Amino acid sequence: MAASEYHHGEMDIHDQQATWNGFITGSTWGGLILALMIGHAVLAIAIGIHWAVSLGLMTVVGIASGLVLNLSGRWYATLVILLLTGLFVQFMIWLFGVLI
């Protein structure tokens, strides 16, 4: 019978633990990135704060979140990429506004 072959605590669960840790890390990062993007949009569009101030505030919130949640250096690299992407998008908006 299969029940007699089972011994509690003897199964190797390293793969399951790695999967779970990856899921939690991905969910945390995804949630934080989504919160930063929505926060920037709300501050810049709905409230009317200048886009650069909003981008700076969300960068500070991202850094603080990384410190509080003890995220790795990859989180800060992601923040830099998000910041540069935001600056590039605003530059393109300015450029097309000048050309039109």
| Within-domain flag for 89 | yes
Give the torsion sign (CA, 46, 57, 69, 89). positive
How many domains does one find in the chain? 1
| Within-domain flag for 62 | yes
CA-wise closest residue to 61 among 46, 40, 88: 40
DSSP class per residue in 64-78: HHHHHTT--HHHHHH
| Within-domain flag for 5 | no
| Within-domain flag for 8 | no
| Within-domain flag for 2 | no
Asked if pLDDT for residue 11 goes beyond 90, the answer is no
**93 CB-side CA count, 13 A:** 7
| Within-domain flag for 4 | no
Asked if pLDDT for residue 4 goes beyond 80, the answer is no
**Tens digits of residue pLDDT in 26-49:** 999 999 999 999 999 999 999 999
| Within-domain flag for 28 | yes
| Domain that residue 93 falls in | 14-99
